[in-house]
Amino acid sequence: MNIMILFIIANTIVIITLIVGALAISIEAQTPTTSDLPMTTINETNSTVKVLNKTLPAENETDVIPVVPM
pLDDT in tens, 7-49: 999 999 999 998 888 877 766 666 667 776 666 655 555 555 5
Domain span including residue 26: 1-30
Task: Tell me 36's DSSP state.
Answer: G
| pLDDT band (50, 70, 90) for residue 56 | low
Q: How much of the chain is in helix, strand and coil states, percent to nearest 5?
A: 45, 15, 45
In a domain, 65, yes or no: no
- Per the model's pLDDT, the better-predicted residue between 32 and 58 turns out to be 32
| Cross-strand bridge partners of residue 41 | 52
In a domain, 66, yes or no: no
- Alpha-carbon distance of 19 to 64, in angstroms, equals 40
Q: How many domains are contained in the chain?
A: 1
pTM, rounded to two decimals = 0.37
